[in-house]
Structure 1
Amino acid sequence: MKKLIYTLFFVLISVVANGQAKYVFYFIGDGMGVNQVNGTEMYYAELQNGRIGVEPLLFTQFPVATMATTFSATNSVTDSAAAGTALSTGKKTYNNAISVGEDKKPMETIAEKAKKAGKKVGIATSVSVDHATPAAFYAHQPNRNMYYEIALDLPKANFDFYAGGGFLKPTKTHDKKDAPSIFPIFEEAGYTVARGYNDYKAKADKAQKMILIQEEGKNPGCLPYAIDQEEDDLTLAQITESAIDFLKKGKDKGFFLMVEGGKIDWATHGNDAATVFNEIKDMDAAVKVAYEFYKKHPKETLIVITADHETGGIVLGSGRYDLNLKALQYQKKSTDGLSKRISELRKSKNNKVTWEEMKEFLGQEMGFWKEVPISWKQERELRDEFEESFVKNKVVFAESMYSKSEPIAARAKEIINDIAMINWANGGHSAGYVPVFVIGAGSHLFGNKIDNTEIPQRIAKAAGYK
């Protein structure tokens, strides 16, 4: 009898896992390699429990876990456009391409397949809506930097919900010519534009199609880093919640929703470990919103978590058989946020900042000399940067892919990384494996090592898209 019960139980589990996915969540952590995920879990184990080990993220506990390769058609190291195209179309292309092949012809995306199958479709991100990864699901352009042209493809795709920071070039073409604002074009196509979470809630009931972006006056390029967020900032979890709410409106034939944690990549380009770990935790909070939905519809929901590529070549250890990740808790802001605070200090003091004032500032913002002891050599490096920047007034901003930082902010980040015993290989992408975590209907299709092009193919199979 007991054997029969076990047999029936496993048959039931198999049926649930093998059912068709009516609801699909596709999370992409931009730049999120295996070590970025592992480092986040180890950091929170030290931070929350004071122990060596891991404090599991929600998505790493999904029952199916594997890894994927990411090379593009033209290079072993992909960019986000080619990787986004692979993750959306199931086909390789050249770096910089947005869902076009090497012949520059459009390739159908899984989001477009979902729309044709009668599903509602949402595309969401923590960066701009016209950035490479989200664009690869709705646009078809030969170059990822064609932001205005990508935005014009948004209403052509006719998806139901878009969300992100905003749009980078709303009135300027790729060849730098003035052009009509994209916002009236969106409205003529039937889209309601909501600026902020409260505005979304006020407009959602009457809207047929929705574009949710940040409030007027906030950065249209991205949401703030999680470590820098203020109470009134739009979050990726709120965007995910709003997307589910909107896509479930009316007749429920199911939906496809892609959500990108885009600023993981930005922080890894800047080699900012504390900010990276906070960004991954922030994406996990968005995954939790999807997981709560999954628990209500377990037989019909598929959640896939992956990344487009690894960024930065993060190394958890400095050769001393040791890690000190808990030191990162004293970094109160991203390197960008710290840089802004230093610029404000410079302005408030008319550039007449003393070394003692700078030490007090860094003690408050980074924990240096207070919670985090630093060596004579590390203090010397900070003092040298101070002398150049504030005494000699030779301010050379440190640059990464997505930011420019006050030199002392950049040096402080390097020192906290050193204290935490984290190293970085570079400020760009690598060809490292990326993780894949899956739960729900069709998850059995993902059980082996795969290429990134196979992920949308398997999602399409799980969801029954032709």
Structure 2
Amino acid sequence: MKKTVQLWIVALVVALCSTSLSAKTPKYIFFCIGDGMSFSHVLATQLYYEHGNYKAGNESIAFLDFPVHSAVRTHANNSLITCSAAAATALATGHKTNIDHVGISPDKKPLTSIAKQLRDKGYAIGLVTSGQIDDATPAAFYASQMRKEAYLIGKEGADSQFDFLAGSALKQPYAPSQPSLYDYYRQQGYTICRGIDGYNANRATGKMLLLDTDTASRSWLPYALERKPEAMGLEFMVQAGIDKLYREKGKKGFFMMIEGASIDHASHPDDLATAIFETAEFDRSVRIAYEFYKKHPDETLIIVTADHETGGLTMGETNMRPFYWEYVNYQTLSKESLSDLFRSLKKNGQVDSWEKARKVLADHTGLWTKIPVNAGEEAALMQCYYRTVIQKSKEQEVTLYAQTEPLVAQAIALLDKKIGVAWSSTSHTGGFVPFYAIGCEATRFATVGDNTDIPQTIRKIMKIK
């Protein structure tokens, strides 16, 4: 009997070791990055959903139900508060680096990304972003440059030979005495497509660079809050990428990086409604990957995280007050677009009275018409109007990506206060960011605590040295 038990134990140990040694590697990997997305961004969007503001089937943020979740540190090598370049480099390569370093070490030596390593193992590679395809986050997966070297970064995108690159635009397509990046991409075998129609007309071609139809007047895709329904968004690019990469039958599988870039862009100017709509679009894009996972559950890995937090978003203020998530729906333009509109009206003399200015604000924020504004709050707005419109003060609220008319900035701040949230910054902060995972080998990420742990864990799973 004793011998039988011993033999049974030996057989069990052998079986466990065999299982460990033959652990399956995922065939399809989705690496989803919400740029600037904090725990508070996720919670605000979830609370917005819970108050009836969702598309059918999207009653909750998809990745909140993923079985693996954690909190991740984001600091750069030389700063507690990181930038997108250093954070993306950590996520792409597993190495800390300095501010404004893209795919290079602190001493500016090239680092190798997991995307390049998977490409060399025979995987199809796709990078998708609502921002510029050669901005910091996607660039860290293929380039080794200082962030300011936009032309060289774009050139390395073509050199990467990744199968599918999709974003709003190229940052610097032209440089003195150099070929245009559009020509260079074509020379490297890429088909350049613009918008939904451009993709549909060329979907059967080989390597593809998919850009927005308007790459001249704006750098990023229009915000989801104000984008026309027929325009290309992050969801379309993700689905197009999946369709294209999955058709690469000769490949071992695919790796896709998905970036919700404009969560960050909306959070720098502390624009809650716009940030919620961007986070919701990111969630819907992750949901597309999740639907793919449900068809291939044993072969697919989905990772969701952020590069850093932006804005210091806080649920609630110092005094106890109820939340009014329905107020989010009353904002019809992003803070940036509303400021552009107001600036134009001011220049043309169309807001030459407080009543006219108030109507513009009311039409696009719901203040006064749907949201109560007390006498003190209106007086403060009137004082700002008098100073900046009547007295023609040149002051502007300056954040990383925009200059905002002070009256618009004050009105949006009041709207956010009425909703029930507060912001502590117009820049990045050093807090933890969320991490979620599901699928093949997802439990291997249960202990990640730093952004560099994520690609290093992918390497272990994929047996990459």
Q: TM-score, with normalisation over the residues of structure 2?
A: 0.91
> Take 1:113 and 1:401, find their aligned partners in 2: how far apart are those partners?
33
Match of 2:252 in 1: 253
The amino acid of 2:330's aligned partner reads: Y
Q: 2:162 aligns with which of 152, 155, 159?
A: 159
Match of 1:170 among 160, 169, 173: 173
Query: Percent identity of the aligned residues?
Result: 35
Give the match for residue 113 of structure 2.
Answer: 109
Which SS does the other structure have where 2:208 is aligned? strand
1:241 equivalent to 2:239? Answer yes
Contact (CA 8 Å) 2:350, 2:356: kept in 1 or not?
no
Q: Give the Cα separation in 2 of the matches to 1:449 and 1:91.
A: 14
Query: Cα distance 1:110–1:152, how it changes in 2: closer, same or farther (>3 A)?
Result: same
- Alpha-carbon distance in 1 for matches of 2:181, 2:392: 42
CA contact (8 A) 2:134 2:153 kept: yes
Return the letter of the residue paired with 2:27. K
> Per the alignment, in what secondary structure is the counterpart of residue 212 of structure 1?
strand
- State how far apart, in whole Å, the 1-side matches of 2:115 and 2:322 are: 42
Question: Structure 1 pair 277/71, CA: closer, same or farther in 2 (3 Å)?
Answer: same
1:229 alignment counterpart: 227
State the structure with more CA Rg: 2
- Whole-Å Cα distance in 2 between the matches of residues 273 and 289 of structure 1? 24
Partner in structure 2 of residue 25 of structure 1: 30
Which residue is equivalent to 2:353?
A: 354
Alpha-carbon shift at residue 459 of structure 1 (Å): 2.0
How far apart in 1 are the matches of 2:411 and 2:277? 18
| Residues in 2 aligned to 1:459 and 1:197: alpha-carbon distance in whole angstroms | 32
The answer on whether the counterparts of 1:302 and 1:441 sit within 8 Å (CA) in structure 2 is yes
1:180–1:449 distance in 2 versus 1, CA, 3 Å: closer
Residues 276-295 of structure 1 aligned to structure 2 (within 5 Å)? 276-295=275-294
Deviations 1:377-420 (A, max 9, x none): 22112212222233223343321111122222111111111212
Residue of structure 2 equivalent to 1:339? 339
Structure 2 unaligned runs (5+)? 1-15
- CA distance in 2 between counterparts of 1:465 and 1:303 reads 18
Matched ranges for 1:51-450 at <5 A: 56-141=60-145, 143-172=146-175, 177=176, 179-205=178-204, 207-216=205-214, 219-251=217-249, 252-326=251-325, 327-346=327-346, 349-450=348-449
- Change in 2 beyond 3 A, CA 1:352/1:323: closer
Residues 242-301 of structure 1 show CA distances to partners (whole Å, capped at 9, x for unaligned) of 111111223242000001001111111111111111111010111111111111111000
Contact in 2 for aligned 1:21/1:464 (Cα 8 Å): no
Letter in 1 for 2:332: K
2:429 and 2:214 mapped to 1: Cα distance? 36
Q: Please say if 1:46 is aligned against 2:45.
A: no
Deviation at 1:19, TM superposition (A): 3.0
**1:344-383 C-alpha deviation (Å, 9 max, x unpaired):** 4335x53453221222222221111111001222211221
Cα distance in 1 for partners of 2:374, 2:462 equals 56
Amino acid of the residue matched to residue 298 of structure 2?
Answer: K
Paired residues of 1:388 and 1:395 also in contact (CA < 8 A): no
**8 A contact 2:448–2:454 mirrored in 1:** no
Given that 1:306 and 1:437 are in contact with CA atoms closer than 8 Å, whether structure 2 keeps it comes out as yes
Contact persistence 2:267–2:310 (CA under 8 A) = yes
Residues 15-70 of structure 1: per-residue CA shift (max 9 Å, x gap): 9x963210000000011111111121122223539xxxx96301111111111111
Distance 2:208 2:53 in 1: 38
After superposition, the Cα gap between the structure-2 partners of 1:285 and 1:430, relative to the gap in structure 1 and judged at 3 Å, is same
Q: Indicate conservation of the 8 Å contact 1:46/1:325, yes or no.
A: no
- 1:305 is paired with a residue whose SS is strand
Structure 1: which 5+ residue stretches go unaligned? 1-10
Per the normalisation by structure 1, the TM-score is: 0.90
Q: Is the 8 A contact 2:345 2:351 kept in 1?
A: no
Q: Distance in 2 between matches of 1:399 and 1:462?
A: 44
Tell me, yes or no, if the aligned pair for 2:129 and 2:259 is still in contact at 8 Å: yes
SS of corresponding position for 1:138: coil
Q: How far apart, in 2, do the equivalents of 1:301 and 1:131 lie?
A: 27
The CA distance in 1 between the partners of 2:409 and 2:442, in whole Å, is 42
CA contact (8 A) 2:124 2:248 kept: no
- CA distance in 1 between partners of 2:448 and 2:253 (Å): 29
Q: Distance in 2 between matches of 1:414 and 1:457?
A: 41
Secondary structure of the 1:25 match is strand
1: CA distance, partners of 2:67 / 2:424:
31
Over residues 103-133 of structure 1, what are the superposed CA-to-partner deviations in whole Å (9 max), with x where a residue is unaligned? 2111110100110110000111111111111
Distance 2:445 2:265 in 1: 28
TM-superposed CA distance for 1:180, in Å, is 2.5
| 1: CA distance, partners of 2:164 / 2:215 | 22
Residue 434 of structure 1 and its aligned partner are, at CA, apart by 0.6
> Counterpart amino acid of 1:167?
L
Alignment partner, residue 13 of structure 2: none
One-letter code of the match for 1:136? A
Maintained 8 Å contact 2:90/2:97: yes
The alpha-carbon distance between structure 1 residues 94 and 409, as it changes in their structure 2 partners (threshold 3 A), is same
Change (3 A) 1:258 1:352: closer
Aligned length: 442
| Deviates further, 381-390 or 276-285 | 381-390
